Amino acid sequence: MRLDLIITNGDAAGELLRRSFAGAEVLPWRDVLHDGPVPLTHDLAELTAIRARYLAGRGWGEFARIEADLAARDRGLMHMASFDRVVLWFEHDLFDQLQLLQILDWFGEHPRDGS
């Protein structure tokens, strides 16, 4: 059985994908990158901290919770090598395309072995 990591635009799509693809691990990308700062940083962890502060400052949750959720998402990327395949499941809108660019940038810096 093939083990897939599916990275998608958020919880709504993630839940549908979990029901549709038994055995796949679904990683929802929860950040509204079109709102607020997205500066050039040295790594994803630095950007995650900036985004968590911004999102909490907007009143969209407690800083500690947002930071923990985004950090857990980032750790999900670190485990990509344990999957047979990584699937990116995004739409054509700005919300998704900015997330996709962020993820592709990360993969550019962290290529999978043999790819």
pLDDT tens per residue, range 28-79: 999 999 999 999 999 999 999 999 999 999 999 999 999 999 999 999 999 9
pLDDT tens per residue, range 18-37: 999 988 999 999 999 999 99
In a domain, 92, yes or no: yes
In a domain, 104, yes or no: yes
Vertex 5: Cα angle to 12 and 36 (nearest 5): 55
The total number of structural domains in the chain stands at 1
* Residue 84 belongs to domain spanning: 4-109
In a domain, 115, yes or no: no
In a domain, 38, yes or no: yes
In a domain, 48, yes or no: yes
